[in-house]
Chains A and B, each alone.
Chain A
Amino acid sequence: MSDPKKETMDQGRRRFLGAGAAAAATIAPGVTLMQVASAKPDDQPVSDKNRWGLLIDTTKCASGCDACVQACNEEFNLQPQHGPRTDPHWIRKVEVRDTATGRTFSLPMMCQHCENPPCADVCPTGASFRRDDGIVLVDRHICIGCRYCMMACPYKARSFVHEEIPEEDKNVNAPRGKGCVEACTLCVHRVDKGRQPACVEACNGDGHKAMIFGDLKDPGSEISRELKKYPSTQIRADLRLNPGVFYKGI
C-alpha cells in the first residue's frame, strides 16, 4: 500500500464495489466481480460468514480533524446544538496523552461493535442486539429508553435522544426519535448495499486514510491483511468483549 497511485485506484474501486472489493481487486479486470462478499442481494439475510470491523491507524489520524464526526452528523442528520451533555454523539474524537512519555495523539471513538456486547446483555427488551454479521444495533421500535445499555457500555458509545426530532430533520438512513437510545450503526444501511461507512469515506476523502473498513472473517480483505501484518490493539481488550474495532499505534 506504499504506492500512492495504487492506493487511489484501489480506493476508487472500493467505492464503486464496496467493502469486499479489496479481495476482488486482485482478480484480473473483467472477472466475475459479483463474487464480492459485501454485495449482498437485498432478499438475502446477513450471515455470520462476515464480521464487519474497522482498523483505525492513530498515527494517521490528525489531531483537530473531525471529518469523520462531520460525515456522521451529515449522514444521519444529527444536530449537535445543545452541548455535550445532551447532543447525540455516534462518533467522537478523543485526544489522548501518554502520561509516561508525553506523546499526544487523537482517535475516533464509536460503538466498538463488540462480539459479546454488554449493552445487549443488560437490555430488558431485546432492543439491543448483535446482527449475525457482527453489527450491534438498537431496535428503536422496541427500545423503552431505560438506558441500561448506556450504563453497561464501557466505551460510552451510546447516547439518548432527549428531544423530538422535527419533521425536516428526520433522516431515512436511521430514523430516530425522542426517548430511544442510539449509537453508531456502522452505517448498516450502506454496508448492506456494499458501501463503506460514511466516516471511513470522509477520512479517505480527506486524504488521511486513517480508517479501513472490511470483513474480519475474509482473510483476503484489506483489513485482515493489515491486521495480520502489523500490531494492533482493541481498547479494553481485558474485558474480553472482542470489539470489532482495532486501533494501530496506541
Chain B
Amino acid sequence: MKYAQFLLACITVALLGSATAFAAAPVPHIPEPEGAEKCVEPEDVMRRQHFEFIKHQRDETMRRGIRTSKYSFKECINCHVVKDEAGRAVSIEDDRHFCNACHSYAAVTVDCFQCHKSTPAEPKMGSLEQPERSLAGLIERLETVSGARR
C-alpha cells in the first residue's frame, strides 16, 4: 500500500512537471506580413524551402540579370515588416524582426544582413547628413587625385 502510494505520487509529480514544462516552452511568434494577403508560396513550403528560393533567385539576378520580384529578397523585406512603437520598421538587430522570430528560436544565424538591408528601402536615404559627408569625401579624394593609389 505504501509502495502504491509512493508510485502514484511519483507519477503525479512527473505529469505535473512535464505539463508545466510544456506550457512554458516558447513557441515562435511569427508576425503577419504587411504588404500582401498571402505569401508567394504556401506557408509550409516557405518554412522549409525559403532559402532555396532566395538563393536560386540570387544567382539568377546576379549572374543573368533576371529581376523578377516573385522570389526577390527585396520583396520579402518589403512585405515582412514589423513596426516598433514609433511606427518604424525594426531592423534585424531587434528581436521582433520577422526573420528573428524563427531564426533565434532555432538558433540559426542569418548572414544575409551583413550586406543586405533588413528594412524596406526608404525613398531617399540620409537627406540632411549626406551633403556634408560627401564634401569631406571630396576634400580627401582631391588629395589622392594626383598621386597613384597605394
Chain B associates with chain A: yes
Evaluate whether A87 and B140 lie within 8 angstroms (CB atoms) in the complex, with A77-B126, A133-B65, A177-B114 already known. Answer: yes
Query: Of B62, B125, B136, which one neighbours A141 at CB under 8 angstroms?
Result: B62
Taken together as a complex, chains A and B put the C-alpha atoms of A121 and B119 apart, in Å, by 36
**CB of B100 within 8 Å of the partner chain:** no
A84→B134 contact, CB < 8 A: no
Residues from chain A with Cβ under 8 Å of B15 in the complex: none
Segment of B5-13, B21-29, B36-44, B142-150 engaged in the interface with chain A? B142-150
Q: Is there an interface contact between B64 and A43, defined as CB atoms closer than 8 Å? A: no
**Alpha-carbon distance between A94 and B118 when the two chains are bound, in angstroms:** 36
Query: Does A156 lie within 8 Å of B149, measured CB to CB?
Result: yes
A171 to B63, CA, bound (A): 20
Question: Which residues, 72 to 86 on A, are CB-close (under 8 Å) to B?
Answer: 73-74, 77, 79-81, 83-85
Closest to A180 in B: B115
A73 contacts which chain B residues (CB < 8 A)?
134, 137
- Given that A156-B150, A170-B116 are known contacts, is A80 also in contact with B66, CB under 8 Å in the complex? no
B112: shortest Cβ distance to chain A, in Å?
A: 9
Query: How distant is the Cα of A84 from the Cα of B134 in the complex, in angstroms?
Result: 14
CB contact under 8 A between A167 and B92, given known A77-B125, A80-B137, A81-B136: yes
List which B121-148 residues lie within 8 A (CB) of chain A.
Answer: 121, 125-126, 130, 133-134, 136-138, 140-146, 148
Most buried by A among B62, B130, B150: B62
A175 to B137, CA, bound (A): 20
Complex CA distance for A164 and B138, rounded to whole angstroms: 22
Which residue on A lies nearest to B91, using beta carbons? A167
Q: Are A93 and B64 in contact (CB under 8 A)?
A: no
**Is A175 a contact partner of B130 (Cβ separation < 8 A)?**
no
Kindly list chain B residues whose C-beta atoms are within 8 Å of the C-beta of A81: 133, 136-137, 140
Check A170–B115 contact: CB distance below 8 A: yes
Do the beta carbons of A129 and B63 come within 8 Å of each other?
A: yes
Number of interface residues of B (CB under 8 A): 40
Bound-state CA distance A50–B40 (Å) is 32
A43 touches B66 (CB 8 A): yes
The listed residue (B64, B69, B117, B150) touching A46 by CB distance below 8 A is B64
Residue of A nearest to B137 (CB): A80
A69-B141, A73-B134, A84-B143 as given contacts; A139 in contact with B63, CB under 8 Å: yes
A84 in contact with B144 given A43-B68, A45-B65, A77-B126 (CB within 8 Å): yes
Judged by a CB distance under 8 angstroms, whether A15 is at the interface is: no
Encode A184-225 as 1/0 by CB contact (under 8 A) with B.
Answer: 000010001100000000000000000000000000000000
Contact partner, B64, options A45, A77, A92, A171, Cβ 8 Å: A45
- In the assembled complex, the CB of A42 is this many whole angstroms from the nearest CB of chain B, namely 4
Q: Judge if B56 is at the interface, Cβ distance under 8 Å.
A: no
> What is the size category of the interface that chain A forms with chain B?
35 or more
Q: Please report the C-alpha to C-alpha distance between residue A44 and residue B66 in the assembled complex, in whole angstroms.
A: 6
Known: A80-B137, A129-B63, A167-B92. A93 touches B115 (CB 8 A): no
B145: A residues at CB distance < 8 A: 92-95, 106
Q: Known contacts A73-B134, A95-B145: does B117 contact A172 (CB below 8 Å)?
A: yes
Residues of A within 8 A of B65 (CB): 40, 45-46, 131, 133, 188, 192
Q: When A and B form their complex, which 5 residue pairs have the shortest distance between CB atoms, in order from nearest?
A: A80-B137, A177-B115, A45-B64, A46-B65, A84-B144
B residues with a Cβ closer than 8 A to A are 58, 60, 62-69, 74, 91-93, 113-119, 121, 125-126, 130, 133-134, 136-138, 140-146, 148-150
Between A and B, 11 residue pairs with Cβ closer than 8 Å are A42-B67, A45-B65, A70-B138, A77-B125, A80-B140, A81-B136, A94-B145, A141-B58, A168-B126, A178-B114, A192-B65
